[in-house]
């Protein structure tokens, strides 16, 4: 073999591997429609994107590993209703917070409330929104 084509005998250093892992490149490939349909079905079953599925498949092939597809368990209908109710409630509370913020801002611009009151109300609204967002289901 040509010595110019050979790489280092002991492989890349830890620093080189870290640099390689941090940088990404785009790779495109052609495949028949039937294969793309299968890949799309398997990635949907695993609830991941097609590109994530292909990356995992290539990585598994390189490392001689197997890909195990574990789909998430189905969400019970009662939980879907509860999630819908939580999102509806979050939307209505967020709307109320927005109305309060607009009113406080308007009053502050028209010198009807002090800077201290304005800052305190804005801080409390921000805390309320953070608490609400933390309690939302995924």
Query: Could you read off the pLDDT of 45-55 as tens digits, one per residue?
Result: 888 888 888 88
Shared domain for 91 and 122, answered yes or no, is yes
**Average confidence (pLDDT) over 29-48:** 88
Domains contained in the chain, number: 2
Residue 99 confidence class, pLDDT cut points 50, 70, 90: very high
Shared domain for 97 and 115, answered yes or no, is yes
Contacts of 31 (CB under 8 A, 6+ apart): 39
Token readout for 71 is 């789909």
Residue 21 confidence class, pLDDT cut points 50, 70, 90: low
Range of the domain at 43: 23-72
Shared domain for 92 and 121, answered yes or no, is yes
CA dist 58 to 12, 27, 51, 66, 119, Å?
A: 20, 12, 11, 10, 53
């Amino acid at each position: 073999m040509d010595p110019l084509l050979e790489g280092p005998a002991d492989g890349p250093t830890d620093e080189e591997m870290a640099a390689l892992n941090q940088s990404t490149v785009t790779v495109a490939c052609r495949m028949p429609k039937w294969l793309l349909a299968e890949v799309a079905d398997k990635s949907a079953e695993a609830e991941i994107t097609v590109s994530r599925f292909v990356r995992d498949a290539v990585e598994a092939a390189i490392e001689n590993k197997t890909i195990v597809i574990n789909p998430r368990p189905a969400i019970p209908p009662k939980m879907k209703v509860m999630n819908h109710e939580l999102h509806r409630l979050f939307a209505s509370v967020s709307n109320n917070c927005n109305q309060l913020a607009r009113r406080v801002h308007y009053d502050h611009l028209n010198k009807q409330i002090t800077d201290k009151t304005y800052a305190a109300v804005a801080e409390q609204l921000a805390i309320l929104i953070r608490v609400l967002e933390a309690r939302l289901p995924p």
